[in-house]
Amino acid sequence: MRFILTVIKKWSLHIRSLNNEKTSEHFKSLVFLLGLELIYIKQKRMCFMQTISYYNSPIGKILLASDEQGLVGLWLDTDRYYGDILAKNYSEGENKYLSSAKKWLNIFFQGKEPNFIPQLHLTGTDFQKRVWQALLKIPYGTTTTYKYIAMKAAQDKKHLPIRATGGAVGRNHICIIVPCHRVVGVNHNLTGYGGGIDKKIKLLQLEGVDISQFKKP
């Protein structure tokens, strides 16, 4: 990309020295084509920006993924939508976002509440992002209902999108850190966890939640 910009700069100086209208038009065409090439390179580069890594947790192997803006995915190996937003071309490695997420997981699986949130890059619809932001505000060691999350995410409070909220909770790409495991049914049913109800129970128990108050499916 720097090479292309250098070429444009050199051509610009050359055209000015010629002071020829026809040549100037050719230069404008060249700049336009090079501009398209820059867009293509940028879009192509986007496909290679994701980096993945794995984390061995007490409840199974976890897949983590990040891009240049933050953590984009965290899936249990039993997750219904495992790796659903991964690009076709990604690399396996480490970076500051993955390292931060692993540090968070280390603290969490010691039965402690992490005092920070790794930098996240939530990717989804505006409604899904509002739901996930609401999940992030559920306090450690507590639970809430789908109805409550719907109230927080709804723009029209008179019409609560409870079903849509359930769908957005289910499509949470960053489990555990975005704590969808803390959402239960209004009648205390332990329902709807993509990684499996057994994993949901273990995560809640790890946070000190009394599971006996809930109805198992």
187-197 pLDDT tens trace: 888 987 889 99
Identity of the amino acid at 180:
C
Contact 110, 95 (CB under 8 A): no
What ranges make up the beta strands (E) of the chain? 51-57, 60-67, 70-76, 91-92, 144-145, 183-184
Instruction: Express each pLDDT in 16-72 by its tens digit.
Output: 565 555 555 554 554 444 554 444 444 444 444 899 999 999 999 999 999 999 999
Distance CA 148, CA 6 (A): 55
Mean of the pLDDT values across residues 74-87? Answer: 95
95's tokens:
């970076």
The rounded mean pLDDT for the chain is 85
| Higher per-residue confidence, 47 vs 214 | 214
Cα–Cα nearest to 185, from 169, 174, 205, 199: 169
Active site residue 175: no
Per-residue model confidence (pLDDT) at position 8: 53
Interacting residues of 147 by C-beta distance below 8 A, sequence separation 6+: 160, 162, 186
Q: Phi-psi bin for 192: left (phi > 0), alpha (psi -120 to 50), beta? A: left
Residue 203: what are its φ and ψ, rounded to 5°?
A: -65, -40
Residue type, 95: N
Catalytic annotation, pick one of 176, 180, 184, 209: 180
For the chain, domain boundaries: 2-46, 51-213
pLDDT at 215 over 60: yes
pTM, entire model: 0.77
Neighbours of 134 (CB within 10 A): 22
Counting Cβ atoms within 10 Å, is residue 65 exposed (0-12), middle (13-18) or buried (19+)? buried
DSSP strand pairing (51-57 vs 144-145): unpaired
- Determine the CATH number of domain 51-213: 1.10.10.10
Distance CA 188, CA 131 (A): 20
On the question of pLDDT at 102 being above 80, the answer is yes
Which residue would you say has higher pLDDT here, 45 or 86? 86
DSSP annotation of 115: S
Q: What is the model's pLDDT at position 47? A: 47
Residue 78 has pLDDT above 50, yes or no: yes
